[in-house]
Structures are given as structure tokens and as C-alpha cells.
Structure 1
Amino acid sequence: MLQNGKPELLIPASCLDVLKVAVNFGADAVFIGGDVYGLRAKAKNFSREDMAEGIRYAHDHGVKVHVTVNILAHNYDLEGVRKYLEELGELGPDALIIADPGIFQMAGEICPEIERHISTQANNTNWASAQFWYNLGAKRVVTARELSLKEIREMRAHLPEDMEIESFVHGAMCISYSGRCLLSNYFTGRDANKGACTHPCRWKYAVVEESRPGEYLPIEENERGTYIFNSKDLCMIEHIPDLMESGIDSFKIEGRMKTALYVATVARTYRKAIDDYCKDPALYEKNLPWYREQISDCTFRNFTTGFFYGKPSHEDQIYDSNTYITNYTYLGTVHGIDEKGFTVIEQKNKFLVGDRVEIMKPGGDNLEVEVKAIYDAEGNSMESAPHPQQEIHIDLGIQPSPYDILRMKKDN
């Protein structure tokens, strides 16, 4: 365990605004990627300027920043990686998440003051490999998603106390072993191991018999359909006691391509669950219905406990669809209050004057209010907010705080 006997809550951030939301909604640390050399190339990611501001903002609020440099590098990547590591040395994040041994060695030479964490992409499935990385200077290992809690407890028992263990506890699951997938590169030329995965595991497949080209035969799995690679999402919110007793130092949330609403929802729910359990396990048990309700308010593909309690079965797959369940629409993050007392946001999805919306607050409250009026940045009245990324000013009757989230139930 880390500070105060609690595990670290490690939250993803796709961009600067989402980082600030993560910080305000309970993260102990955030993990982010730069424009290059991370495994989420389609995320917005951070420019050098945004990364510098994000690190300053997080540190001012007592939150750490981990930066992904976890591609599996080719020869032509190495010169650029070296320059990037030099830049990161100047920016001063708290840790680098690395999978490639060559990049790991370069980071130790170029910016030795920054902790090096071993990415799940390095296939960390046993304590001996974790010990190997520790002996080379690693501070933390991110376990493979294929490990059970029993295996993680065994790993903890064999490692030095100052070697930290980080594990994913929530988010999308990859059908391939520790995320090492060749399907995307094969079908589209976009390499999953260099951050450009097109998620072919979510596509619909059929079988073609060699002598009957063009005749597609559906793949059926117990009459559930044809999405044979489509995994449910990992969720361990109901199993915090088992996670706490496993020896995991950092509870990691997947989602560097997700919205601020997703980040706020998951961060707030796990923050409260961890704090409640550490205060009194009985309080955690009492609040389980609230955790279940809240965690289902963000986009998800039904839930599974993954490999934590043994090998997943057909019940952990979704065979009839590749769509998300979405109960709320994300309207925007509160940027501030204007001189008239109206709420300022960058609008993300359409809503109307008269709609009932919710103000989602970090402490756990969800305040339902009516949209009384909408104005554009020039003060012109609007009946609706139809244009994404438009700055709008909203009369909600009350004044929310910066980085509160505005959302609306789908049935509204």
C-alpha cells in the first residue's frame, strides 16, 4: 500500500481538460500520453505545452502524473524516442510507463530521476519477471490482465516491499494476450503495438468455406450471435475488499480515449469505495448499491471480473452486439462562471432550453436543474446548443463549480 495505507487510484486522461477533471474527481495519479510513442495514438493526447500545464496542475493538487512511452519500438523509432525522453526529463512527470527494454534502458540513462514503471504490454505474468525488472531499476510493474488475484498475492509475497504492483481494475478488456494483437495491423495496416489499434475485436465475423467463395456462413456461439472476440468490460467495484487484500499498490482504470464524463464517473465511484472501505468495511458494504448505480451511469459493455477469479467463460463475452450501454449524455465540463452568473461550458452534445440536466459534483452529489436559458459567446439567445465544441453560457438557476460535469439522462 502507498500513502495512508490506501492504494493509489490511477485515472486515465486523454487531454488537459480531462486531466483536470480526473484530479478534481479523486485521482491520486493520472496517466497520460504525449503526441508520440504511446499506445493510444487515436486519443487526443498531450502537446508539450499541455503536458507541462497538466503536470503543474496535478502537482499543485498533490496528484502524480505518469506518462506512457510504451510502444514496441523499431530501429527508426529510437532517435525520436531519445529526444522525447530528453523533453520528458525537462517536464518532470513522476513516472514513465515503458514496455520496450531498449526504451527502458535509454530512460534510465537520460532521465534517471523519473521512476520507470513496466507496462502491461511487457507481459508481466510472474514474480520472477517482476524481480528481473526491479533488479534493473524499475519501481513498479503493471500486471498482465490475465492474472488472478491469487497469482498477484503470490507475486506480492515474493517481491521486495519497495517494488510496487499496479493492476487494471476497471475498463475495456483486450481479447489478445496482454494487448499484443496483430489483427489491426493485418486488416488495416494500423499497428496496435504502436498505438494505432482499430479494435477489430469489436467487428462482426463470418466463415467462408474454401470451395464456396463469397458465401458467408455465420459464426454462432450458443445462439448468441457472431461477435466472437467482443469482451465485456472489467469492473471490480463490488470487490474492493479482495483487491485491498491482494497487495496491489495502484488500482488502474482503463480509458485514455474516454470522455470527461466517463473519467469523472469512474474516478468518483472508486474514490468513494476505497475511502469508505478504509474508513469502515461496513460502510463500504452499506454503500454498495450506490457504487453499482453510479458505475453503470457511464458508457460500458456490461461487466465482468475478468481473470481475477479464474479463467473467463462464454459468460464474459458479448456475442450479439458490439455497442455500448449509455445511460447519460455528456453535455460538457464547467469551465467557469461569467459576469452574469451563467455557467460556461464547451458544449459536447445537443440539449435544449427547458431540458432537465444534472450537475455531477466530485463529492458524490448529482443536482438536477432546469436549463432556463442558453447564450452563445456573444450573448445571443439560443433555443438549443446543437454545435459541438461551441462555447455557450447557460442559466441553470444555480452556479456549479469549475470542472463539475453536466450530463443528461438518455430518456430526457
Structure 2
Amino acid sequence: MQKTLKKPELLAPAGNLEKLKFAIHYGADAVYIGGKQFGLRSNAGNFTFDEMREGVAFAEKYGSKVYVATNIIAHNENLDGAQEYYKNLYDAGIHAVIVADPALIQACREGAPDLEVHISTQASIANWKTAEFWKNEGIPRVVLAREVSVEEIREIKEKVDVEIEAFIHGAMCISYSGRCVLSNHMTARDANRGGCAQSCRWKYDLFENGVNDDTEVSDESDEMYTMSSQDLSMVEHLPDLIEAGVDSLKIEGRMKSIHYVATVVNVYRKIIDTYFEDPENYQLDQAWIDEIWKAAQRNLTTAFYYNEPTHKDQLYGKPERLPKYDFAGLVLEYDKETQMATIQQRNNFGVGDEVEFFGPNFFHFKQTITELYDEKGEPIDRAKHAMMITKVKVDQPVEYLNMMRKQK
């Protein structure tokens, strides 16, 4: 094992300003966001320039960075205004942009020559010669294709002095790093310009010879077929990527909830910090695995990191029943004298419910709600109204922005 390992950056998704703040509060070293143009998540909240400035100011207060994804594959009509857009990103304080298209790299260099450029996973970088090409073009960081193995990463780092960013958790595209036209064909929404309808995740019947033959292979008792992958998770194998030299460990999910972002970031932050406390004696904690499953929406796989994926890594047949958790409330305040927490309701909860509180640094405890009051201090049985302010008697001290969840 290398003796002088560099602690990697933990990079989290942020679909809007609230998610950005939660990602950083729960331990992200950097976040990546989308603006109103040139990004692949057109349905995410996405940021105005004013929101970017606020996000950058918040991040820098915690020593974190903000990157903007401008990773579409551009057509001619997409190029108008690109130079000005990058200048505005630079003026907003953005630390780097993630780009796939050479035309947009050029636009960035012309509009904001001091703005750092990272090459997106959309560029499908899967070998050291390609990484070397971008290094020679003055690019400091490349985001690898999801199709590379741990051994290939190790070789790239040995042969090229370039920063490597690699995905550790989240959804996998069934096509080669997003190069897909299913969505275009079926919905006229361009997957490579931010409009993916996720057609691979739809359910399909199987037919003998295509559209002109109505001989159906499957029957009503069969599980319908999808073309979808399980989600990536490296929670059990993170030291392998650290020791291979990955500089930035990336979580997918700009469209996910703040509960998902906080939970996943919290787990990987704990793993990274625990590993670097004593690499030689690092041991995986089952509690980290259990915690990841509280945010998981699909079965999990290590994808291409160790072997070529098989049918076992696909979402096929009846899905396993994963435990489902509701983000029930957000802690706004805590009174240590009364042991009462002020909680903003995010999902229905009430007296008699078993809930779990959690927060940064892998803080957790479970309890049953025994006392619940509305904002005026009147006792109530349930918090039924969205975003209502409540008071809850808690068994242990809690802090601002701790979360409360309950199993469905």
C-alpha cells in the first residue's frame, strides 16, 4: 500500500441551493451544480447566477468548492452565448466547470480564461493515453468513464500526472457514459442535451419479431422487462479507489432529495475519515452499509470496477423490497432545559411513531415520539400539515439541521 496517500475530495451533487447547503453541512468537500444552460439535468432545480454567488459564499465559509456542470454535447444552436455564460460563472466565483464538448472548452477559454476546466464523464475517458491528451491540453482533472476498472485507474495514475475524478455512488447509465438516443427516439427529448426521459427504466413487453408481429413472448404473469442497471455503490470497497490514487470521489444525484444527499455524504465522509485515521488497521463497519440502504432506491452493484457486469447487475425480475424511509422532519432548534426540539415537518409523523435522528459525523439515535406540540405549544397527536413547525420531546440532544426520519 502507498505510504503517503492524499486524502481525496468528497464531491456531492446539489440540484438546488438547499441541497448544496446540506451536502456541505454533512461533509462534502465540494459540490457540483447546474446552471440554466449547457447542463445535462434540465429538470433539476438548477441555479441562477445570484444563487451561485450565495452557494459559493456558503461553500467557502466551510472551505468547500462549487463546480458547475456544462456537459452537454452541443449542437450549433447551443453555442450562442457560451463565452458570456462562462464569464458570468467566473464572476460568480465558481471554482471549476465540468465540460465534455471541445467547442465549449474553447468558449470557456475565450470567455473566462482563468476558469478551471474538468473533462466530464460524457467524454468517455477510459485509458491513460486519452487522459494524457487532455493533460497536454492543459486540463488539470478528468472525470473517468463509469466503465473503467480499479486496475485501469491505477495504471492511468501511474502513467499520467492528472487529477482523477471517479464515481462512487448513484445511478448508472445503461449506455456508454450517457451516449444514448433512446430518449430522443421515444420522446424527442435529447439525452445528451439535458432532456433524458430515462426510457431504459420503463417496463417493456417482449415480442417475437418486432413491431409488425403481435406474437408476444411474455405473458401476463411475467415480470416486464427493463434495460436498466442497478445503482453503483462502493461503500464496501472505498479504500481500493483511494489506494488507486483517485483524487475526487463523486456521488451522482442532482435530482435526489436532501435526505438522500445528506445520508450518502454522511456515510462516505465517515468512511474516508476513518480510513485516514489508521489506514493499516481500517475495518469496514456494518453500520455504514446499513445506513446506505436507508437511502438506496434500487439494488446496488460495483458495476465495472472489478468485473464486467452481468445480468445480475441489471434491474430485472421482481425488485427486492428495499426498506423505505421518509424524511419526516428537520431540526431547527433544541432547548436543553426542556429537552424539546423545534422540528419543521417534512412528512406526516405523530405520537407513537418510532423515528431516527441523524446528523453530521455519523450521529444517530432512535426513539419513540411520546410528546408532540404545535407551534403554539398545544399538544397534538400528529404533524399532518406540510412544513408545519412542531415541538418534539427528544431523548438525546440534537442540533440545527439534524434530520428525523421514519421507516414506512
* TM-score, length of structure 2 as denominator length: 0.90
Is 1:23 paired with 2:24?
Answer: yes
Q: Report the residue type matching 2:218 in the other structure.
A: P
- 2:148 & 2:222 partners in 1: Cα distance? 27
Aligned-pair identity in percent equals: 44
Match of 1:217 in 2: 217
Give the direction of change, closer, same or farther, for the CA distance of 1:332–1:110 in structure 2 (3 Å limit): farther
Match of 1:81 in 2: 82
- 2:235 & 2:172 partners in 1: Cα distance? 16
The correspondence of residues 11-410 of structure 1 with structure 2, limited to 5 A, is 11-160=12-161, 163-208=162-207, 209=209, 213-218=213-218, 225-281=223-279, 283-285=281-283, 287-321=284-318, 325-336=322-333, 343-371=341-369, 372-375=371-374, 382-388=380-386, 390-397=387-394, 400-410=398-408
Give the direction of change, closer, same or farther, for the CA distance of 1:309–1:4 in structure 2 (3 Å limit): closer
1:206 counterpart SS class: coil
* Number of matched pairs: 402
Give the direction of change, closer, same or farther, for the CA distance of 1:374–1:195 in structure 2 (3 Å limit): farther
Give the direction of change, closer, same or farther, for the CA distance of 1:380–1:215 in structure 2 (3 Å limit): farther
Q: Report the residue type matching 2:179 in the other structure.
A: R
Q: Report the residue type matching 1:316 in the other structure.
A: D
Q: What per-residue deviation string (whole Å, max 9, x for no partner) do you get for residues 251-289 of structure 1?
A: 11111111111111111111111111112236531x431
Deviation at 1:135, TM superposition (A): 1.9
Give the direction of change, closer, same or farther, for the CA distance of 1:72–1:87 in structure 2 (3 Å limit): same
Q: Residue 167 of structure 2 contacts residue 251 of structure 2 at CA under 8 Å; is this kept in 1?
A: yes
- 1:278 & 1:92 partners in 2: Cα distance? 31
Deviation at 1:56, TM superposition (A): 0.7
Measured on the aligned residues, the alpha-carbon RMSD in Å equals: 2.7
- 2:222 & 2:173 partners in 1: Cα distance? 20
1:245 counterpart SS class: helix
- 2:342 & 2:46 partners in 1: Cα distance? 24
1:237 counterpart SS class: coil
Give the direction of change, closer, same or farther, for the CA distance of 1:28–1:211 in structure 2 (3 Å limit): closer
Deviation at 1:114, TM superposition (A): 2.1
- 1:324 & 1:73 partners in 2: Cα distance? 40
Give the direction of change, closer, same or farther, for the CA distance of 1:30–1:323 in structure 2 (3 Å limit): farther
Q: Residue 11 of structure 2 contacts residue 32 of structure 2 at CA under 8 Å; is this kept in 1?
A: yes
- 1:18 & 1:336 partners in 2: Cα distance? 20
1:23 counterpart SS class: helix
1:207 counterpart SS class: coil
Q: What per-residue deviation string (whole Å, max 9, x for no partner) do you get for residues 353-393 of structure 1?
A: 342222111121212244422425x77765433344x2423
Give the direction of change, closer, same or farther, for the CA distance of 1:186–1:210 in structure 2 (3 Å limit): closer
Q: Report the residue type matching 1:355 in the other structure.
A: D
- 1:85 & 1:181 partners in 2: Cα distance? 27
Deviation at 1:218, TM superposition (A): 2.5
- 2:211 & 2:98 partners in 1: Cα distance? 48
Give the direction of change, closer, same or farther, for the CA distance of 1:129–1:348 in structure 2 (3 Å limit): same
Unpaired stretches in structure 1, ≥5 consecutive residues: none
Give the direction of change, closer, same or farther, for the CA distance of 1:79–1:210 in structure 2 (3 Å limit): closer
Q: Residue 343 of structure 2 contacts residue 392 of structure 2 at CA under 8 Å; is this kept in 1?
A: no
Give the direction of change, closer, same or farther, for the CA distance of 1:379–1:83 in structure 2 (3 Å limit): farther
Give the direction of change, closer, same or farther, for the CA distance of 1:79–1:244 in structure 2 (3 Å limit): same
Give the direction of change, closer, same or farther, for the CA distance of 1:366–1:89 in structure 2 (3 Å limit): same
Q: Residue 353 of structure 1 contacts residue 374 of structure 1 at CA under 8 Å; is this kept in 2?
A: no
Q: Residue 345 of structure 2 contacts residue 390 of structure 2 at CA under 8 Å; is this kept in 1?
A: no
Q: What per-residue deviation string (whole Å, max 9, x for no partner) do you get for residues 303-348 of structure 1?
A: 111001121111111211468834321124334469x986455533
- 2:251 & 2:219 partners in 1: Cα distance? 32
Deviation at 1:239, TM superposition (A): 1.0
Deviation at 1:66, TM superposition (A): 1.0
Unpaired stretches in structure 2, ≥5 consecutive residues: none
Deviation at 1:5, TM superposition (A): 2.0
* TM-score, length of structure 1 as denominator length: 0.89
Give the direction of change, closer, same or farther, for the CA distance of 1:193–1:333 in structure 2 (3 Å limit): farther
Q: Residue 203 of structure 1 contacts residue 322 of structure 1 at CA under 8 Å; is this kept in 2?
A: no
Deviation at 1:227, TM superposition (A): 2.9
Greater Cα offset, 113-122 or 73-82: 73-82
Match of 1:10 in 2: 11
- 1:74 & 1:219 partners in 2: Cα distance? 43
